[in-house]
């Protein structure tokens, strides 16, 4: 009788008698599948359906003390660059493409007061900017708080205040950031040597969405962004991994 009951249940489940239920496959975006997260304990994963996609899905995970990965932010809609995705080392300035790969998140800033993040956070004012003029490599891809007009920079400077609610909360991705020592001149302008690569663009952030495509950043709803800001902890070595569903495990 017991054997007959097991057989009947197996048939109801669509299994051959004696077979066991197949274990669900681990999604390609789950942290255990990702190749380059190293010893990070906080991982944000952004996936898109294809390279030309301008929208995607963002999830966040944390590694517990036991080593188990726990999803701390459910799948949420993300806006991507108007040019789709591109491999990080192939990105060019002005293309509107979101770089793929794995990037550290070490600093943050915003129009609003610190929401309670453990990251170093700067509440910017009307003077503050992000510069990326290729003809001025020493200031390329740097946050600036000097009270200057940035004459000659044209469209190669983001006057942060003008971006409104999009920059209420911003996490900075370590994409093409300069690795040299940053010095501050007598006029307050930050410079670095050696500079970032002036061909690849800069100012790649995770920030608040205004509902439209970005110029290469990742943008999500402010409520979700606030959650992430409060969660991010530099001691947990946070990273963000960006890629298509077909390539995310290689990023």
Does some domain include residue 59? yes
Does some domain include residue 136? yes
Tokens 């009947």 correspond to 8
Give the side-chain half-sphere CA count within 13 A for 75.
8
pLDDT value at position 9? 38
Domain count of the chain?
1
d(CA 247, CA 109): 30
Supply the DSSP string of 209-226, one letter for each residue.
Answer: --SS-BSS-EEE-HHHHH
pLDDT value at position 24? 66
Tokens 């940053």 correspond to 182
Q: What is the pLDDT along the chain (251 residues), one digit of tens a residue?
A: 444 444 443 344 344 444 444 556 899 999 999 999 999 999 999 999 999 999 999 999 999 999 999 999 999 999 999 999 999 999 999 999 999 999 999 999 999 999 999 999 999 999 999 999 999 999 999 999 999 999 889 999 999 999 999 999 999 999 999 999 999 998 999 999 999 999 999 999 999 999 999 999 999 999 999 999 999 999 999 999 999 999 999 99
Q: How many Cβ atoms sit within 10 Å of the Cβ of residue 55?
A: 12
Which range marks the domain in which residue 91 is found? Answer: 30-250
Does some domain include residue 193? yes
pLDDT value at position 1? 42
d(CA 199, CA 27): 35
Reduced to 3 states (helix: H, G, I; strand: E, B; else coil), residue 243 is strand
Does some domain include residue 220? yes
Does some domain include residue 25? no
Does some domain include residue 95? yes
d(CA 201, CA 199): 6
pLDDT value at position 22? 54
Does some domain include residue 182? yes
pLDDT value at position 152? 87
Provide the whole-model pTM: 0.90
Does some domain include residue 16? no
């Amino acid at each position: 009788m017991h054997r007959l009951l097991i057989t009947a249940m197996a048939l109801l489940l669509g299994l051959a008698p004696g077979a066991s239920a197949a274990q669900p496959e681990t999604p390609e975006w789950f942290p255990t599948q990702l190749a380059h997260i190293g010893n990070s304990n906080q991982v944000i994963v952004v996936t898109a359906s294809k390279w030309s996609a301008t929208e995607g899905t963002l999830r966040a995970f944390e590694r517990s003390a036991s080593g188990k990965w726990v999803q701390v932010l459910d799948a949420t809609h993300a806006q991507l660059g108007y040019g789709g995705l591109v491999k990080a080392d192939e990105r060019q300035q002005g293309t509107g493409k979101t770089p793929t790969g794995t990037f550290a998140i070490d600093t943050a800033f915003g129009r609003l007061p610190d929401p309670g993040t453990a990251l170093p956070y700067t509440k910017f004012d009307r003077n503050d900017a992000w510069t990326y003029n290729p003809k001025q490599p020493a200031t390329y891809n740097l946050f600036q708080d000097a009270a200057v007009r940035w004459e000659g920079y044209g469209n190669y400077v983001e006057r942060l205040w003008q971006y409104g609610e999009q920059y209420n909360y911003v996490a900075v991705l370590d994409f093409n950031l300069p690795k040299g020592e940053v010095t501050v001149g007598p006029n307050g302008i930050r410079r670095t040597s050696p500079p970032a690569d002036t061909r690849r663009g800069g100012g790649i952030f995770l920030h608040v969405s205004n509902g439209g495509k970005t110029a290469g950043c990742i943008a999500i709803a402010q409520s979700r962004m606030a959650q992430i800001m409060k969660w991010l902890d530099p001691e947990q070595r946070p990273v963000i991994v960006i890629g298509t569903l077909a390539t995310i495990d290689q990023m």
